[in-house]
Chain A
Amino acid sequence: MSSTFLGMPAAPPRSPYGTGNLRGERKFPAAAHDELRDEQLRRNLGKATRTIRGKRLDVTAELPDWERLRDAGSAIKTDTMNRLPELLQELERKVTEHGGTVHWARDGVEANEIVTRLVQETGSDEVIKVKSMATQEIGLNEHLTSRGITAYETDLAELIVQLADDKPSHILVPAIHRNREEIREIFRAAIPGVDPELDSVPAHLAAAARAYLREKFMTTQVAVSGANFGIAETGTLSVVESEGNGRMCLTLPRTLITVMGIEKVLPRYQDLEVFLQLLPRSSTGERMNPYTSMWTGVTPGDGPQEFHLVLLDNGRTAALADEVGRDALNCIRCSACLNVCPVYERAGGHAYGSTYPGPIGAVLTPQLAGMHAAKDDPNSSLPYASTLCGACFDACPVKIDIPSLLVELRHQHTEQSGTTAEKLAMKAAAQVMKRPRLYTAAQKAAGAGRVVAGRDGRISHLPPPFAGWTDSRDIPAPPKQTFRAWLASAEGAAELRAAAEEGARKPGHDGEQVGPGRNGTHVSPGRDAEQVGPGRDGTHVSPGHDGEHVSPGRDDEDGDQG
């Protein structure tokens, strides 16, 4: 294989600013603030994510080798990224050998132009579409419309979104934010000739979609799809689906155009044995999705006789150039991380502003499209749209360490953004923390914050410059006594001694848990003030109740209404 690489490598560009659907209009906190007020949305999301979480756990627990499959999946994707140039060329060669045509697109704009030209060459002014994240990302439908080509979404959820002139809010179930009543209203308003008596029974709604789309499937000559996998070794493309709309689009039209991100390639056909287990169980919580189609170029007498594969970069190489961030490219779009995320479950997908919402969206979107400091980019808020609770990492079938990626992106954002109030505050804090006396004094001063706390011991509004912190969360009032003060007190010393003695009485116990908290120590407020122990700075403190543990919100999932 020849290499055209000469001299210093250049950092590849992100997806061009202002194109496609990889950026919202507002930052996450502002968008989430409004979405959170929509009680219907929260009920719909809460119900759906709870259901799917349970299903996923059931079917993943069923496989004794689930963790080994995750290890294999993770390694296959990493291996793929390492060998991407040769694998892409192999895929191109195999697809071409089997009668397909391969096109390359530097970005979404170029991919849109290629698809438009290919559709125009067929003479058709309409296409049927299989649900596809890549074409959503590049805004293909909008582009086709502007060129006089009508795109019909055929996945039920995408159809709901399209008919309502709405945006998808989930990778797998784009209309997850809609309930059956809303869907019935959308269908009654937008499907020509629909039964005005249509009720909201899901089976009846699905039947209405079947009747509406049947004629499109039978008559439309061009289909556009994405791809879940593209096998380099054999040139085989694959689409994983449920409804049969995928099979219809991939089988009945004369021409098929598939838009695939370059990271979707897999080295070997055998690798399907891993991903056909990981993907359905992680995404819909099924042992297998109802339908998967696999095709290699063109088969005479069976299916489309013209096949085009468009390989899309659009910022993927920029992500690949990031040592830490490139792991986000391993994503197989199962959406398990969305369903377990306490932030996604409450804010919903629209708040992220990107085709890719949720935890994976918060790391993938800024990498594909960048976080432009000079433009006050909404994407720069995405790495902060997380409590870093780690549920997404646990759920990810290819073990993407999303929390670490988020932290890395926060770091990059801070590095990019020059001198900010936050940076200055952090510098000041570092100076204070270096000096024990100053630190103790600062802690004591912070204790004054108790006066602004409500009766529930929480502070909802801090004055500037700290207001940013309380805009999106309450903080607990500072305790009357700090841990350091407690430890230095007679009571603390006695507790420590008692714990050490107990540890010594139990042979074999390594005593690692010595210290307060272990036996539920709770110092009740309002006790007499005590002098702190010798050798300290003689600060006079009152014992207060010790800091409570604040949960990141995951374990109260049944707590909110819905």
Chain B
Amino acid sequence: MTARETVLGRVRDALALAPRPEVTVPREYRTGRTLPDGERLALFVDRLTDYRAQVHTCTADRAAEVIADVLRERGARKVGVPAGLDRGLLAGYDGEVREDDSNIPAPRLDELDGVVTGSAVSCAETGTIFLDGSADQGRRALSLVPDLHVCVVDLSSVAAGVPEAVARLVPERPTTLISGPSATSDIELERVEGVHGPRTLDVVIRTDV
């Protein structure tokens, strides 16, 4: 017998030895919640700030200006962007912009001072941003290796809670949930921001998109 047959046989034997009645999952927790724009924004910003992410809110027409200010303030002279990012977002930036390509070895992304990406979905209640590898977000390595991540979030993509956000995801896409900059609590349970992922996370929220 193969290991597969053996293990599956054992599982069936176990269930025959200790049968249990069928279970219906009670899904009485909160789902399908909506919140007015203002409340959703306030909640999302509060949560992001709690994780010590830097938050910038603006209208779409000012986004390029805000992003340029952020990059300047962080001293980022060389930034990476995914191929599908609206280049208008970098119109105000005077540094070097490098478009990513999956043929570039990931370690070379370490040369970048930062990266600017879009996002797929966000969750207000937990301050979580979901990246799913779409053209405006790029491959996972791009938003991981550089030390600064500037992430553009449209308020319309911000869901109220976790069930509402998960419902908007495409399961087969490589998905990364980001809640603030990387952190650890491994030393005496004291939270320290900034370990292996980007140590700085700037979130630019476009309130009218």
A48: which B residues are within 8 A, CB to CB? 188-189
CB nearest neighbor in B for A293: B176
Q: Across the interface, do A317 and B166 meet the contact criterion of CB distance under 8 Å?
A: no
Q: Across the interface, do B8 and A301 meet the contact criterion of CB distance under 8 Å?
A: no
A164 within 8 A of B: no
Q: Across the interface, do B182 and A291 meet the contact criterion of CB distance under 8 Å?
A: yes
CB nearest neighbor in B for A75: B25
Q: How far is the CA of A303 from the CA of B31 in the complex (A)?
A: 32
B182: which A residues are within 8 A, CB to CB? 242-244, 290-291
Q: How far is the CA of A171 from the CA of B128 in the complex (A)?
A: 24
B157 within 8 A of A: no
B23: which A residues are within 8 A, CB to CB? 75, 78-79, 82
Residue interface mask B1-29, A partner, CB < 8 A = 1: 01111111111111111101011111111
- Knowing A156-B195, A245-B196 touch, does A206 contact B187 (C-beta < 8 A)? yes
How distant is A543 from chain B, measured CB to nearest CB, in Å? Answer: 50
A287: which B residues are within 8 A, CB to CB? 47, 50, 125-127, 179
B85 within 8 A of A: no
- Residue tally, chain B, CB below 8 Å to A: 77
B102: which A residues are within 8 A, CB to CB? 301-302
Q: How far is the CA of A192 from the CA of B30 in the complex (A)?
A: 51
Residue interface mask B166-203, A partner, CB < 8 A = 1: 11010111111111111111111110101111100000
Residue interface mask A412-436, B partner, CB < 8 A = 1: 0000000000000000000000000
B171: which A residues are within 8 A, CB to CB? 231, 233-234, 236, 269, 294, 296
Q: How far is the CA of A81 from the CA of B15 in the complex (A)?
A: 8
Q: How far is the CA of A219 from the CA of B108 in the complex (A)?
A: 11
**Which of B12, B123, B196 is in CB contact (< 8 Å) with A5?**
B12
Q: Which of A33-41, A210-218, A385-393, A503-511 participates in binding chain B?
A: A210-218
Q: Across the interface, do B185 and A284 meet the contact criterion of CB distance under 8 Å?
A: yes
- A interface residue count range (under 10 / 10 to 19 / 20 to 34 / 35 or more): 35 or more
**Which of B22, B145, B176, B187 is in CB contact (< 8 Å) with A291?**
B176
**Which of A106, A269, A321 is in CB contact (< 8 Å) with B17?**
A321
CB nearest neighbor in A for B108: A218
Q: Across the interface, do A321 and B25 meet the contact criterion of CB distance under 8 Å?
A: no
How distant is B51 from chain A, measured CB to nearest CB, in Å? Answer: 7
A277 within 8 A of B: yes
Q: Across the interface, do A9 and B16 meet the contact criterion of CB distance under 8 Å?
A: yes
A318: which B residues are within 8 A, CB to CB? 14
B76 within 8 A of A: no
B139 within 8 A of A: yes
How distant is A401 from chain B, measured CB to nearest CB, in Å? Answer: 14
Residue interface mask A263-287, B partner, CB < 8 A = 1: 0000001101110110010001011
B35 within 8 A of A: no
How distant is A300 from chain B, measured CB to nearest CB, in Å? Answer: 8
A227 within 8 A of B: no
B145: which A residues are within 8 A, CB to CB? 252
Q: Across the interface, do B107 and A218 meet the contact criterion of CB distance under 8 Å?
A: yes
Q: How far is the CA of A72 from the CA of B27 in the complex (A)?
A: 6
Q: Across the interface, do B20 and A81 meet the contact criterion of CB distance under 8 Å?
A: yes
Q: Across the interface, do A203 and B16 meet the contact criterion of CB distance under 8 Å?
A: no
CB nearest neighbor in A for B20: A82
**Which of A78, A106, A250, A299 is in CB contact (< 8 Å) with B6?**
A106
Q: How far is the CA of A282 from the CA of B7 in the complex (A)?
A: 31
Q: How far is the CA of A311 from the CA of B8 in the complex (A)?
A: 11
Q: How far is the CA of A384 from the CA of B175 in the complex (A)?
A: 43
A262: which B residues are within 8 A, CB to CB? 7, 11
B69 within 8 A of A: no
A458 within 8 A of B: no
Q: Across the interface, do A242 and B183 meet the contact criterion of CB distance under 8 Å?
A: yes
Q: Across the interface, do A180 and B187 meet the contact criterion of CB distance under 8 Å?
A: yes
Residue interface mask A3-14, B partner, CB < 8 A = 1: 111000111110
- Knowing A71-B26, A290-B179, A291-B176 touch, does A10 contact B13 (C-beta < 8 A)? yes
A280: which B residues are within 8 A, CB to CB? 126
A160 within 8 A of B: yes
Q: Across the interface, do A243 and B197 meet the contact criterion of CB distance under 8 Å?
A: yes
- Knowing A231-B171, A291-B178 touch, does A5 contact B9 (C-beta < 8 A)? yes
**Which of A183, A210, A321, A323 is in CB contact (< 8 Å) with B13?**
A321
Q: Across the interface, do B172 and A247 meet the contact criterion of CB distance under 8 Å?
A: no
Q: How far is the CA of A293 from the CA of B197 in the complex (A)?
A: 13
Q: Which of A62-70, A116-124, A371-379, A549-557 participates in binding chain B?
A: A62-70
How distant is B69 from chain A, measured CB to nearest CB, in Å? Answer: 25
A495 within 8 A of B: no
Interface residues in B12-66 by Cβ distance below 8 A to A read: 12-18, 20, 22-31, 47, 50-51
How distant is B134 from chain A, measured CB to nearest CB, in Å? Answer: 11
Q: Across the interface, do A292 and B47 meet the contact criterion of CB distance under 8 Å?
A: no
**Which of B22, B174, B184 is in CB contact (< 8 Å) with A299?**
B174
How distant is A177 from chain B, measured CB to nearest CB, in Å? Answer: 11
Q: How far is the CA of A202 from the CA of B194 in the complex (A)?
A: 11
Q: Across the interface, do B10 and A313 meet the contact criterion of CB distance under 8 Å?
A: yes
- Knowing A68-B26, A75-B26, A288-B177 touch, does A243 contact B195 (C-beta < 8 A)? yes
Q: Across the interface, do A273 and B15 meet the contact criterion of CB distance under 8 Å?
A: no
A85: which B residues are within 8 A, CB to CB? 8, 11-12, 15
A219: which B residues are within 8 A, CB to CB? 107
CB nearest neighbor in B for A183: B187
Q: How far is the CA of A111 from the CA of B188 in the complex (A)?
A: 33
How distant is B94 from chain A, measured CB to nearest CB, in Å? Answer: 29
| Of listed B13, B26, B139, residue having the most chain A CB within 10 A | B13
How distant is A161 from chain B, measured CB to nearest CB, in Å? Answer: 10
B47: which A residues are within 8 A, CB to CB? 287
Name B's A-contacting residues (CB within 8 A): 2-18, 20, 22-31, 47, 50-51, 102, 106-107, 110, 123, 125-128, 133, 139-141, 144-145, 162-163, 166-167, 169, 171-190, 192, 194-198
Q: A68-B29, A72-B25, A287-B125 are in contact. List 12 more A-B contacts (CB 8 A).
A: A5-B12, A9-B13, A214-B110, A218-B106, A243-B182, A247-B196, A289-B179, A291-B197, A293-B175, A294-B174, A295-B174, A321-B18
Q: List 25 A-B contacts (CB under 8 A).
A: A68-B26, A89-B8, A104-B2, A106-B7, A173-B189, A180-B187, A202-B187, A202-B192, A247-B140, A247-B196, A248-B144, A250-B140, A252-B144, A262-B7, A269-B166, A272-B166, A273-B163, A273-B167, A284-B185, A291-B179, A296-B171, A313-B7, A317-B14, A320-B11, A321-B17
